[in-house]
Structure 1
Amino acid sequence: MGAIGNLFGFIATPLYYAISGVLIAWHKLLSLLGLNPDGGVAWALSIVGLTLVIRAALIPLFVKQIKSSRNMQLLQPQVRELQKKYGHDRERLGQETMKLYKESGTNPFASCLPILLQMPIFFTLFHLLNEAARNNTPHGFLTDNLASSFGKSALFGAIPLKESFWGSRVWQPDGGQLSVMLLALFLVIAMTATTFTTQRQLMSKNMPADAMTGQYAQQQKMLLYILPVAFGLGGVAFPIGVLLYWTTSNLWTMGQQFYVIRNNPAPGTPAFQAKIDRDKAKADKHGEVYKAPETDTGSAPEARPSQRQQPKKQSRSQRKKSGGQKPDGPTKGGSQ
């Protein structure tokens, strides 16, 4: 257990400084704007600000995630062909599938990067808040006073950011713990609903019909229900402050994905057709000629027709056999 703790401390130390630095910067800014520096509102908004900074820094990875997910969707028909061809040989199937991904510049693991990179931040923030609340222990740039203020902060004076749903007791006479449970339950439901809505939005609007069947689609459908349930069950044990971070992050993801799907949808999807309809309506409104994209159906652009094949030269004997008529071409008199 000591070795594991040392390993966690080695990994978390730079994250402690990064997270606490951004958190303190927001806290100082909000204090200058007139909020009580020891109040829960200032620290809660600081967590929200921390989330916005982290998600903004992850935008390049989100772009890679979108591109990877889109390519994975569009490649599903080819993947199914490989499954039909090499279904009896799992090793060869895996090799050919990875070859297909490599040739198309698709990384099947890129779609997991944003959430995987957030997990260490998530647990570091949890530990930062827990240590400040339970032991008044500072980490990173937090001083003893700031750690004590952070650990004792409470929204509306009755809902400590350190408390969780399961850590509350509704039978206490002041009723404060009931408020904690209600807010925690609201955040858990919001976190679960935003996770489900984000995944559902992707599947219903930005996945072509061909990608809705097969192994990849089945995995997406499973995640549609597994992830919200997992977050919901785990969320009841997380402090209010950590739930604020995760709910804000989910709202960012949902808004960011909505923007991408609306403005840059994958070909052959309902969102792609909706964008075409909006562009047509906009062009009609301004009296402009609508220029259609390469394909309205989302399929690969059709190959350009090949040039007309020129007739082969024939010998005199061949022309006699064919009735003395030359193949398509101008006659000596110039008529066709």
Structure 2
Amino acid sequence: MDAWYQPFVDFGSTLMQPLYWAVSGLLVLFHFLWSPVLGADSGWTWTLSIVCLTIIIRMLLIPLFVRQIKSSRQMQLIQPRVRELQKKYGHDRQKLGEETMKLYREEGANPMASCLPLLLQSPIFFALFRVLDGAAHGIPRGQWLKDRVDLLSSLQNAQIFGARISDTFMGVGFANGITSIHVLCVILIVAMTGSMFITQLQLMRKNMPPEALTGQFAQQQKIMLYIFPLAFAVGGINFPVGVLIYWFTSNLWTMAQQFYVIRRNPSPGTPAFDAWEARRKAKGKSTTVAVNGSGTDKGKSATSNGVARRNGKGAEPATVPEEPEGPRVVRQQPRRQTRSQRKR
């Protein structure tokens, strides 16, 4: 007899089939492109296919990422004003809720807007994880892998650094001691969790004003800073090598993408914004010096040097007296006379 939740599982699997089809199709496509270079059964062919697949998906999700960053930043910036409202209307829950929603409308902030892009990304990431995890265990997910059993077997048995794409840290066991599989899995787990931690840390340290680092919202951010990497580190011991490669690539992309956004479009009042202002001022100053030294006052300098040479003062320009203010007096010129008239 089927379990009571089996209909829900079947329904969810049906909804995920289009995503499985797209993810498996991209994976097979990149394997086809890399096979002539590295070989069809090479572990590096499948590794690069997973990396390229992850990059393509992350590029398609850039608009959602930008929206998530903007919404999260807006919520962080208004937290000091939210705390002021809490101090003022803490005794009246209804009034506090009304004023808080009014503040959100005025500032164009939405608490759910920062979560919505993440929720929309989740099915795509889950489909990618399920396709790779299923392939590592010999379970084809996606029509492109179901039609190519040889590719499924190749992905499952491909090796890099002595470890198969399908191997896990706990699945190998320690009967033969510490093997290359354990070492590779530990390196990938540390890289995956470390890149995730650095990404969250740079967001809190560089793109948040000091006043936003206090309060309940900031405390939640600090808790997630440590909880998420720890959860992935614990779960990572059961992830196949192919899934660890995917997560590390995805986190590395997120870290670089967020670094670019923070550097080019920082939030006002944050350390990143101060550094951006300093770079802009330094660039403007160097540009001004370069322009002045390359000919902006060239005509003026040449005129001054010419006057200086005529006055015998070397490189120092001569001082030209200014005309006095007031009405200009026109001097009458004498009438021209002939030579005989001048003798008389």
List gaps (5 residues or longer) in structure 1. Answer: 290-336
Q: 2:277, 2:134 → 1: CA distance? A: 53
Cα RMSD (Å): 2.1
2:252 maps to 1:251 = yes
Q: 1:207 to 1:215 in 2, by over 3 A?
A: same
Q: 2:133, 2:273 → 1: CA distance? A: 46
- Corresponding residue number in structure 2 for 1:309: none
Equivalent pair of 2:61/2:121 in contact (CA under 8 Å): no
Q: 1:54, 1:190 → 2: CA distance? A: 20
1:100, distance to aligned residue in structure 2 (A): 2.2
SS at match of 2:280: helix
- Corresponding residue number in structure 2 for 1:89: 92
Residues 1-336 of structure 1 mapped to structure 2, 5 A cutoff: 1-32=5-36, 34-135=37-138, 137=140, 139-142=142-145, 143-156=148-161, 158-172=162-176, 178-287=179-288
Equivalent pair of 1:126/1:239 in contact (CA under 8 Å): no
Q: 2:183, 2:86 → 1: CA distance? A: 50
Larger Rg: 2
Q: 2:40, 2:101 → 1: CA distance? A: 53
Matched AA of 2:170:
W
Equivalent pair of 1:184/1:240 in contact (CA under 8 Å): yes
1:156-179: CA deviation from partner (whole Å, max 9, x where unpaired): 4x311111111122333xx8x711
Q: 1:58 to 1:187 in 2, by over 3 A?
A: same
TM-score, scaled to structure 2: 0.77
Equivalent pair of 2:164/2:241 in contact (CA under 8 Å): yes
Matched AA of 1:231:
F
Equivalent pair of 1:27/1:37 in contact (CA under 8 Å): yes
1:131, distance to aligned residue in structure 2 (A): 3.1
SS at match of 1:265: coil
1:11, distance to aligned residue in structure 2 (A): 2.3
1:49, distance to aligned residue in structure 2 (A): 0.5
Matched AA of 1:217:
A
Q: 1:288, 1:206 → 2: CA distance? A: 31
1:8, distance to aligned residue in structure 2 (A): 2.7
Equivalent pair of 2:189/2:233 in contact (CA under 8 Å): yes
1:134, distance to aligned residue in structure 2 (A): 3.1
Q: 1:111, 1:188 → 2: CA distance? A: 27
Q: 2:163, 2:131 → 1: CA distance? A: 18
Matched AA of 2:150:
N
Matched AA of 1:264:
N
List gaps (5 residues or longer) in structure 2. Answer: 291-344
Q: 1:248 to 1:91 in 2, by over 3 A?
A: farther
Q: 1:117 to 1:237 in 2, by over 3 A?
A: farther
